[in-house]
Structure 1
Amino acid sequence: MQIAIVYDSGYGHTAKQAEAVADGIRKIEGAEVFLHAVAEGDTPWEKLTQSDAIIFGSPTYNGTVSAGLKQFMEESTRTAWTPQAWRNKIAAGFTNSGAMHGDKLNSLVTIALFAAQHGMIWTGLDMFPGEGNEAMNRVGGWLGAMAQSDNASPEITPIRSDLDTAAYLGQRVAEVTTQFIAGRKA
């Protein structure tokens, strides 16, 4: 089972989240993970098409996804959307912003709509919001993993509970993908 993580990270916070998502995926036996930072250039379209699931991540800037992830979305039209190459793949998303709210939900809605237009099957969090900085899902996301960085250095933020929530999302996507693949073979 191959799971791809496609993300943008302006300052390193969302990259830390992407690594945490990857750690969660690796907890599931047989799951392989591939990370692609959109800023690195050439998108490996064939590798994404071969993946069983794709998890998208972006910082939230001005209430929506970054320009880098938006450009990736637009470039996917010819290579993935038109041929419906990602149809029936599992999808999920994560985001980070400096403020506690920071309009992160709008970024996740944008990513979920993008996945829906590609015919993908969305996986959100199945975790009740926790209370306090030590609790997982402390930001209270259902649609995907949310993190908050206080506009501080990526060496100290996002905090451990936000990264644990991201890892949980990765593990959940790997579990759901395993079930989906088994169901197709049955």
Structure 2
Amino acid sequence: MDVRVAVAFHSGYGHTARQAEAVTRGAAGVDGAIATAHDVSAPDAALWSELDSADAIVFGTPTYMGGTSAVFQTFAEATAPIWQERRWQGKLAAGFTNSAGINGNKDTTLSALAVFAAQHGMIWVPLGLAPGGEYSSQGDRDDLNRLGGFTGAMAQSAADLGPDQAPIDSDLRTAEHLGSQVASVAVRFALGRAAVAA
């Protein structure tokens, strides 16, 4: 009994795509989980079918001007028919984002993703990590969750670095952890449903 985790993302310059790859890798590493990544910039019937068949959807977008990208928002608004039919009701959801600034109001983007999921009746899975980085004087930039997010995975990519150099490894490992977290919860949900059915 495999669970399906779909990573639905938009990436403007390739940095968020690297996060998406890490989330997918983390989810795929969980026994009993199959993970696939999907660029939402040009939604078609195949994308909607993949998302409808997923047990969990992890949403990803860069943070532009303190919120989701316009491309991601266009995708979100295109889910209105799905919302009307409640097709994603009860699925698991999670989110990740990247911006050039250390803060960049990434928390606002993650909150928007959580609200989007809630409108669909989805169940939000948080990052599940204590803050690393400069949370304590012993922390450093190589820590998981160095940016101190709780709602989802955050990454930072300096504006003058391409996706071959950013996000840094700890941010990608944080995204990988999010994928693993979501897939692990999805497997437990599936086992619970199977036990109830039996």
Q: TM-score, normalised on structure 1?
A: 0.97
Shift, 1:160, TM fit: 0.1
Shift, 1:40, TM fit: 4.1
Q: Distance in 2 between matches of 1:108 and 1:133?
A: 21
1:47 to 47, 50, 56: 50
Partner of 2:85, secondary structure, is coil
Q: Distance in 1 between matches of 2:49 and 2:130?
A: 36
Q: Distance in 1 between matches of 2:25 and 2:190?
A: 21
Asked if the contact 2:41/2:75 (under 8 Å) is kept, the reply is no
Q: Does 1:143 align with 2:143?
A: no
Q: Does 1:76 align with 2:71?
A: no
Amino acid at match of 1:140: G
Shift, 1:30, TM fit: 2.2
2:11 to 3, 9, 13: 9
Amino acid at match of 2:147: V
Q: Residue deviations 1:96-124, cap 9 Å, x none?
A: 00000000000000000000000000001
Amino acid at match of 2:185: V
Q: Distance in 2 between matches of 1:40 and 1:17?
A: 19
Asked if the contact 2:26/2:176 (under 8 Å) is kept, the reply is yes
Q: Which runs of 5+ in 2 are unaligned?
A: 134-139
Q: Distance in 1 between matches of 2:80 and 2:147?
A: 32
Runs of 4+ in 1 over 6 A off after TM superposition: none
Equivalent positions of 1:18-167 (< 5 A) are 18-42=20-44, 44-78=47-81, 80-131=82-133, 132-151=140-159, 152-167=161-176
Amino acid at match of 1:22: T
The farther-off stretch of 168-177 and 123-132 is: 123-132
**Which has the higher Rg, Structure 1 or Structure 2?**
2
Amino acid at match of 1:134: D
> Pairwise CA RMSD of aligned residues?
0.9
Match of 2:136 in 1: none
Q: Distance in 1 between matches of 2:60 and 2:114?
A: 11
Amino acid at match of 1:56: F
Partner of 1:92, secondary structure, is strand
Q: Which runs of 5+ in 1 are unaligned?
A: none
Shift, 1:8, TM fit: 0.4
Q: Distance in 1 between matches of 2:36 and 2:80?
A: 21
Q: Residue deviations 1:18-42, cap 9 Å, x none?
A: 0000110111112111211012442
